[in-house]
Structure formats: structure tokens, C-alpha cells
Chains A and B, each alone.
Chain A
Amino acid sequence: MRETRGFKIYRGVTLTVLGLFVLVPLYVMVTSSLKPLKDVQGAFSWWPSNLTLAPFVDMWKTVPLARYFVNSTIVSVAATVFSVAIAILAAFAVSRFKFRGRTVFTTTVLSTQMFPGVLFLLPLFLIFVNINNSFGLQLVGTRLGLIITYLTFSLPFSIWMLAGYFDSIPRELDEAALVDGCGPMGALWRVVLPAARPGVIAVAIYSFMTAWGEVLFASVMTTEANRTLSVGLRQYSTQTNIYWNQIMAAALVVSVPVVIGFLLAQRHFVAGVTAGAVK
């Protein structure tokens, strides 16, 4: 690519248009969260009539946001921890061993990622209801049910990405560990994992984002007791008033941790996506 004048004009126009497309909603989210209620109920204005932090205070009272926050945090952290641990083991098997059924495993697991969630939703809901009836283990309306479900959502991509990472770590390294008397699990723990740390971080962030943002299953599997943020934020609009300023404030607060996490790890993320796409 040569940076001709034509290219510079193209770049200027493209980046301006796309920048506005991305920025305007973000701007609206931030400024609306600083507006008094009457501002968001009248005609739209670009700037608050008077800046206020009240929405960030009131949003905790209008709906039990703190409880949704706790639920989302517990569910997402637990799903992430289990998903990453299970993915590490599976990816190690796929990357370092030759065994019967290896291809079947990888293709089946990856293809489950591609099927629409609504396919499993109804049967899974029924299975959960019936497990409760037969064994007394409650999975609908509990955090446990959500954790189990969510961790499988990120599992396929995590295994795929980690296997790619493990493949890029020279086998001589684990051989050396074996010579030093480690078992295979020791080699995984002491050699492979430390070398694959960026990959593990990327996969963890991906798992967390998946669980934190999930809507479909949360809308069916949650009751008031285990409601997560993705469904809970809708409660602001079922009241007689729609508290758009509080909705925007809450949306901002629930987004900041994941956005920062993602942006910090974006390099590893991009590398992981490419490693997979190129293969």
C-alpha cells in the first residue's frame, strides 16, 4: 500500500464515518447517564441541562441491581474458572497426544459452537425441570444451573484456541521436563502452562465475556433469586416510568470491567483468533 493522496482521503473519510458510528452511541450512553430524569423524558439533547451523578446513586434503589451484580459476578467467575481449567486439560490432550477419536472430538465440539442456542434451550429447560423433580437438584432458578450452562458455551472456542497455543510451544520443552522426572501432568503444569499464559488469559477473558453478556438462557433459567444483569437491566423499563438515565448508568457500570479487560488483553485475543483462522 502506498500512501497516495487518494489513500489519505479514503482513510480520513472512512475513519471519520466509522468513528462517528462507533462513538455516538457510546457518547449517548455516557452523557445520558449524567442527565436528570426530565432530560431523558423530553426531546433529545446532546448535553445534560445540569450534570448530575444521581442516576448512579438511584440505579441501585430502582431495581435490586446489587443483587444482580453479585449473581452475575459469581456465575461468570465460576463459569470462567471451570471452563478454563477443563479447556486446559482437553487442549493438552488434543495438542500433545495421538489417540483414537481425536478428530471426531475436535469437530464435534467445535460444531456445537455453531448451533443456535434456541435448539438446546427448550430441551435443556425440560431436562433441568425433570432433574429437579426426580433428584431434587434444582438447576432452574439457581446459579449452579447457569454456571454449568455458561461454561459449556465458551468451552469449544477455548479448547480450540488453547490447543493452537500449546501447539506453538516446542515439544522439546516438555520433553526436558519429562527427563527431569516430571510426569505428563507436571510437564503441563510447570512448562506448557507458564509458556501459554497469554493464551490462558485471553481464553479466560473470552469465557467471562460470554457468561457476563448471555441473555437467551438467562431469560428462561433465572427467577428473581438468581437474576443476572443481562436480564435484570430490563427491569428499569417495566416500571411506570422508564428511567433511561439510570439504565444508561447501569449499562455503563456493567460494561466498564469487561471492556477494560478485553482491551488490555486484545493483543493476545487477536493472536488467538488468527492462529485459529489460519489453521
Chain B
Amino acid sequence: MSVATETAAPAPPKPRSRLEHRPGLNRWLPYALLAPAVLLELFIHIIPMLVGIWMSFVKLTKFFIANWSSAPSAGLGNYKVALDFNNAVGQGLLKSFGVTVVFSLVTVAFSWVLGMAAAVALQPEFRGRGIVRTLFLVPYALPAYAGILTWNFMLQRDTGAVNHVLNQLHLTDGKTFWLIGGNALISLITVAGWKLWTFAFLTLMAGMQSIPRDLYEAASVDGAGNIRQWRNITLPSLRPVNLVLVLVLFLWTFSDFNTPYVLFGTAQPPAGDLITFHIYNASFLTWNFGTGAAMSVLLLIFLMIVTGAYLLVTGRRSRRA
């Protein structure tokens, strides 16, 4: 947006704020205002991240936790262990990565489709719209663990609501295991999607409010039906919102910890072994922080590559458009 204004014909010089007329004060005040935020971000995020990278290169087992400076160097040893797909640790990581990719893609798609469907249904005004919208925001507002605990109860084999309903509808015999075995992934997607689709809904609904009404009116006059209007007006107008939304949903789901942790406890079924949870268990069950740190760095590199590629591809496409 700012690029467009700069290249536009001779705009009048932007009136400078009076705050900017005081050179002395001006020079240090913004930095002083930022200092607390910067220091805290450094202390809790940036420095730990650098320490994490260092940790991935040392043999940081439980003997060195209180005395980390004497931990011996491991070179690339931790990475070799994490990426050796012939041994148990490497295989576990690879499997967990595969599960996470499937979980993440399906959950994002699921959440986006439901969010879009609801946002479109609520686009025209009608009686009761406010109530429905408020209701749809409840899963998002609920503390994550409260919602997941409820699902945990509902997914119990013998006492849960899910098996009860499926049995009453004659779809299953009502004896399905949802929290152990192969169904764990389905459960994870449902539970994570239950909360996440409402965020997609919230964002898409907000984005739709800024689409001018006369676009739809003009299209109606031209005889375009609702589906064509959605394809030709709603979708293109929401493009910037969608770009951010899909990326954010992906990054969130890929590093989701709450859902598997609250749903399964420490006994994670292999089919629900999401990567963050896997790293967590690998570190805190064995107290081998070195390998855990190496896995975290690999995860970070992967997410950075995906984000970079995503921004590159979407950026190029919008420039062409």
C-alpha cells in the first residue's frame, strides 16, 4: 500500500508530526519506549532460541542440566541420531513428522472450509444472526484445555457420547477406541478443528465486512448467481486475508501441543504423535536435551523453509495478477 502512494504522482510532502520536530528527545525516546518489550523478547525468545541452537551441538544429558557449561561437545552427533532413520529415535521422528503433516493439512482444510461455509451463510443479515455468530465464537473463547477435556470425555470408549451417538445411528457397534490405536489421528483432527474453524470463521467474516455491497449488486444485475458471485467477488476480495489465515493456521496446527497433550496424556498413541509432543516426550522422558534441541532446530528449519516458499510463491502470483 505504501509503495503505491510513493510511486504516485507528486504527493504533497507528508506533514511531519510535531513529535518529530524535537530532535534531542526524538532520538532516544522511541528506544526507551521499546526497551522493555525488546528486553523481554530477548530474554524469553531470542536468547533461548540461540541457546537452543547451541544445545543441539552438545551432549546435554541429565548430568549436565545444572552445570551446562561443562557439557561435552557432540558435534553433529545429535542431528545424526535424530536423522538416522535406521534406529528407533530417527524412525520415531520421521513417523511423527509424517503424522503431523497429515494432521496439519487436513485440519487446516477442514477449518477453512467450515469457517468459509459459516461466514458465507452469515453474510446477509437475518434475524438471529448475532446470536449464531456469538455461539460460533464460544469454542475459540474457551480455554483450550477445557474444550479438549470435554472431547476427551466424549471420546471415551465405554462412557463417551461419540460412541453412544454412532451406535444409536447404527453406524458402528459403539465399541470404537478413539484415543488409542489408529483412530487417534481422526480424534485429533476433530478436536483441533472444533476450536480452529471458529478462528477461520472470525477472520473470514471480518474480511467479508470490507467487501463493498455494490459489487454484489452489480453482479446480480448482470445475472450472476450466488455461486458465481462467491467465486468472482468473495474469493478474490478475501485473497489477502486468506493468504495470512492459511499460513497462520498451518503454523499453529503444525506445532500444536495442547490437543495431543490434553487428549492423550503422556501415553501418546503412534497415530497421534504430533511433532511438538514427540519432541517434548523425547526430551523430558529421557532428559536428553541435546537430541530434543536438535529435533527442535530441525522443526524450525522446516517451518522457515515452508513459510519462505509459501511467501515466495504467493507473492509472485499476486505480482503477476
Contacts and interface: CB of A to CB of B under 8 A. Distances in A.
Interface of A: 1-4, 6-7, 10-11, 14-15, 18-19, 21-26, 28-29, 32, 40-44, 86-87, 89-90, 92-94, 96-99, 102, 105, 108-109, 112, 114-124, 126-127, 129-130, 133, 148-149, 151-152, 155-156, 159, 171, 174-175, 178-179, 184, 187, 209, 212-213, 215-216, 219-220, 229-230, 233-234, 237, 244, 247-248, 251-252, 254-255, 258-259, 262-263, 266, 269-271, 273-274, 277-279
A39 to B, nearest CB: 9
Contact of B150 (A28, A96, A126, A266): A28
Nearest to A114: B251
B299 interface: yes
Give the secondary structure class of A's interface. helix
Interface in B204-218: 205-207, 209-210, 216
A179 B262 CA distance: 56
A267 to B, nearest CB: 10
Given A1-B226, A266-B137, A277-B241, A127 B299 contact: no
B44 A122 contact: no
Contacts of A279: 1
Contacts of A108: 41, 46
B20 to A, nearest CB: 6
B134 A263 contact: yes
Residue in B45, B48, B123, B139 with the greatest tally of chain A CB atoms within 10 Å: B45
Nearest to B297: A119
B143 A230 contact: yes
B226 A124 contact: no
Give the secondary structure class of B's interface. helix
B41 A155 contact: yes
Contacts of B40: 86, 148, 151-152, 155
Contact of B132 (A2, A15, A130, A248): A15
Contacts of B81: none
Contacts of A271: 206
B296 A118 contact: yes
Interface string B117-161: 110111110100000101111111111111101110110101111
Given A25-B154, A209-B143, A270-B206, A89 B36 contact: yes
A262 B142 CA distance: 9
Residue in B36, B118, B146, B161 with the greatest tally of chain A CB atoms within 10 Å: B146
B151 A25 contact: yes
A118 B226 contact: no
A126 B153 contact: no
Interface stretch (B90-98, B181-189, B278-286): B278-286
A97 B149 contact: no
10 contacts: A14-B118, A15-B132, A41-B159, A43-B158, A44-B161, A90-B34, A102-B30, A114-B248, A114-B307, A215-B144
B65 interface: yes
B141 A259 contact: yes
B138 A259 contact: yes
A119 B296 contact: yes
A174 B18 CA distance: 9
Given A26-B138, A124-B44, A90 B33 contact: yes
B207 A119 contact: no
Contacts of B65: 126, 129
A179 B33 CA distance: 22
B318 interface: no
A132 to B, nearest CB: 9
Sorted nearest first, the 5 A-B pairs with minimum C-beta distance are A116-B255, A262-B141, A213-B143, A93-B33, A123-B48
B99 interface: no
Interface string B49-75: 101100100001000011010000000
Contacts of A18: 114, 117-118, 136
Contact of A93 (B30, B136, B159, B216): B30
B48 A15 contact: no
